[in-house]
């Protein structure tokens, strides 16, 4: 889920003025005439046909088209030493299957067969997020969960942000699912204004338009994308009210997250997710009164990190794109145009969640997890003790 969901919809009172403004004419902001099929009878066919569709519909950012296709395609991570279990991972709003590259690689190293899916409207061009419905996203998760269940008796589901909503609903309604792995779960948005996205989508097309220059995720957001996200949050909150969820759950999130309501997630974990093997990884300066939690400080001056971010949980410090020395630096971080331009010019920056400010410091987005290895060890322990 992206910061534009909150910042643009908070300006809902000026929606008519924005809706009448001239929209940027750019291929990235145009929509395709249809979305790709995702109901193939085999995962191999799904990957191949999705890649063919992306090749003809994607607006490419670099000269390396094959890299962009691979990063934005569904993928399978096959373990060298299988343990007989499988995991389906679902990315968030505006993201791509690559967002789970490091987590999926780790899980495969532990013996899990891992698959990632592409939520319809993603991976091609941001204009395509005008097309999907809630049912599209629900059905891709359901279909590929069922494909895995044909070959594996033990299937876990994992998701990031919007993807966490989708897999949680799937698991609550399918008692055969082994358990959940949730990263920055967007059960409830931080801003209540997001609920108006559906109404706003009838008046304006875009919540935000920025230059599209990141081959791994969208920078802009159509209002329809925000609306469908909010629908996933409504559905998952209704599902969570059905009663106690007794299966194992791993959650990781940051107190500094400016996108989701972290208190709602903490309360849900404490009161609804009751398995003793559960683990909540909490990036914060304040420990939780929850014995099934582990806290990691994010005030890391030597690494110029001020706090944890919504997206910074999934990537290892060694990730070539989002890690410590990664090529993708997200300067658009709510600091204002002057500081953003200084960041783009290569000046020294600190790293934080979107919108965090501190006198005398320019903050880019924190895109990696300084505790990635420790977090994966905690996930491994939860998986081991729950079997």
Q: Which of 18-27, 42-51, 204-213, 303-312 has the lowest mean pLDDT?
A: 18-27
The secondary structure element, H or E, covering residue 235 is: helix 223-240
- Separation between Cα atoms, residue 310 and residue 163, nearest integer Å: 13
- Separation between Cα atoms, residue 34 and residue 37, nearest integer Å: 9
Mean pLDDT of 17-46: 81
Residue 43 has pLDDT above 90, yes or no: yes
Residue 19 has pLDDT above 50, yes or no: no
Cβ contact 23:205 at 8 Å: yes
Per-residue pLDDT, 197: 82
Percent residues over pLDDT 90 in the chain? 87
Mean pLDDT of 30-35: 96
CB atoms within 10 A of CB 235: 17
- Separation between Cα atoms, residue 162 and residue 150, nearest integer Å: 26
Q: What domains are there in the chain, each with its CATH number?
A: 4-242 (3.40.50.1820)
CA 194 to chain centre: 17
Its pTM stands at 0.94
Q: What average pLDDT does the structure give for the chain?
A: 93
Taking alpha carbons only, the member of 316, 315, 309, 299 closest to residue 365 is 309
Mean pLDDT of 356-372: 96
**pLDDT by residue (tens digit) across 48-101?**
999 999 999 999 999 999 999 999 999 999 999 999 999 999 999 999 999 999
Per-residue pLDDT, 22: 46
Per-residue pLDDT, 31: 96
**pLDDT by residue (tens digit) across 137-187?**
999 999 999 999 999 999 999 999 999 999 999 999 999 999 999 999 999
């Amino acid at each position: 889920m992206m910061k534009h969901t909150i910042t643009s919809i908070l300006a809902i009172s000026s929606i008519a003025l924005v809706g009448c403004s001239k929209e940027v004419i750019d291929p990235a902001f145009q929509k395709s005439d249809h979305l790709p099929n995702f109901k193939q009878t085999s995962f191999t066919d799904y990957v191949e046909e999705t890649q063919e569709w992306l090749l003809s519909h994607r607006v490419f950012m670099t000269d390396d088209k094959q890299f962009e296709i691979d990063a934005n395609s569904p993928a399978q991570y096959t373990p060298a030493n299988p343990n007989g279990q499988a995991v389906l991972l679902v990315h968030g709003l505006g993201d791509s299957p690559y967002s789970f590259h490091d987590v999926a690689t780790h899980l495969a190293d532990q013996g899990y067969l891992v698959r990632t899916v592409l939520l319809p409207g993603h991976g091609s061009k941001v204009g395509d997020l005008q097309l999907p419905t809630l049912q599209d996203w629900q059905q891709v998760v359901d279909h590929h969960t069922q494909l895995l269940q044909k070959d594996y008796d033990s299937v876990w589901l994992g998701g990031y942000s919007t993807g966490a909503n989708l897999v949680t609903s799937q698991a609550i309604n399918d008692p055969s699912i082994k358990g959940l792995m949730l990263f920055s779960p967007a059960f409830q948005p931080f801003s209540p204004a997001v609920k108006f996205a559906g109404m706003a989508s009838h008046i304006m097309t875009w919540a935000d338009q920025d230059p599209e220059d990141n081959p791994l995720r969208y920078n802009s957001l159509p209002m329809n994308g925000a609306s469908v996200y909010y629908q996933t949050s409504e559905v998952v909150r209704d599902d969570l009210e059905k009663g106690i969820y007794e299966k194992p759950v791993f959650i990781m999130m940051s107190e500094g997250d400016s996108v989701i309501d972290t208190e709602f997630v903490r309360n849900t974990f404490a009161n609804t997710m009751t398995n003793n093997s559960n683990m909540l990884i909490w990036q914060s300066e304040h420990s939780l009164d929850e014995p099934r939690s582990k806290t990691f400080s994010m005030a890391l001056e030597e690494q110029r990190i001020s706090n944890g971010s919504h997206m910074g949980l999934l990537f290892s410090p060694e990730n070539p794109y989002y890690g410590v020395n990664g090529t993708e630096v997200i300067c658009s971080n709510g600091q204002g145009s002057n500081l953003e331009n200084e960041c783009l010019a290569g000046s020294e920056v600190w790293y934080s969640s979107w919108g965090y400010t501190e006198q005398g410091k320019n903050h880019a987005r924190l895109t990696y997890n300084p505790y990635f290895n420790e977090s994966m060890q905690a996930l491994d322990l939860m998986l081991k003790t729950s079997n």
